[in-house]
């Protein structure tokens, strides 16, 4: 049963990625910003705040995991899988912006 759940999750993610459409690389540039976590923030709230700035269609879970990966050494090492963030943490966040 656990294998079936895993297969369903992978299928849903694949459909979400495929539904974004365009397979050509987008024209634009990578934007890198630093965000300082404030009290009450969650990774999902932060990810949503920045994913709407992006010109590339991405799943919010993928974007959140990208934030964790990008900030692994400075912030998340030892805090994962919970992905705890604390007020004052400085997160680097990258997203793509069309020219």
Tell whether pTM > 0.75.
no
Instruction: State residue 33's pLDDT score.
Output: 96
Mean pLDDT of the chain: 82
Cα maximum dimension of the chain: 46
Is the model more confident about 55 or about 25? 55
Instruction: For domain 27-98, give the CATH number.
Output: 3.10.350.10
Instruction: State residue 92's pLDDT score.
Output: 97
Instruction: State residue 58's pLDDT score.
Output: 86
Instruction: State residue 72's pLDDT score.
Output: 92
**pLDDT mean over 28-49:** 94
Q: Which of 89, 54, 49 is nearest to 68 (CA)?
A: 89
pLDDT at 17 over 60: no
Counting every residue written for the chain, the total comes to 99
Is the model more confident about 58 or about 17? 58
User: What angle (nearest 5°) sits at the alpha carbon of residue 17, between those of residues 81 and 78?
Assistant: 15
């Amino acid at each position: 049963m656990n294998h079936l759940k895993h297969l369903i999750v992978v299928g849903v993610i694949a459909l979400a990625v495929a539904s974004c459409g365009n397979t050509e690389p987008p024209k634009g540039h990578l934007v890198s910003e630093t965000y300082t976590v404030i009290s009450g923030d969650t990774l999902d709230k932060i990810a949503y705040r920045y994913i709407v700035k992006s010109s590339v269609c991405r799943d919010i879970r993928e974007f959140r995991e990208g934030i964790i990966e990008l900030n692994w050494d400075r912030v998340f090492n030892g805090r994962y899988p919970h992905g705890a963030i604390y007020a004052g943490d400085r997160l680097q966040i990258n997203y793509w912006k069309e020219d």
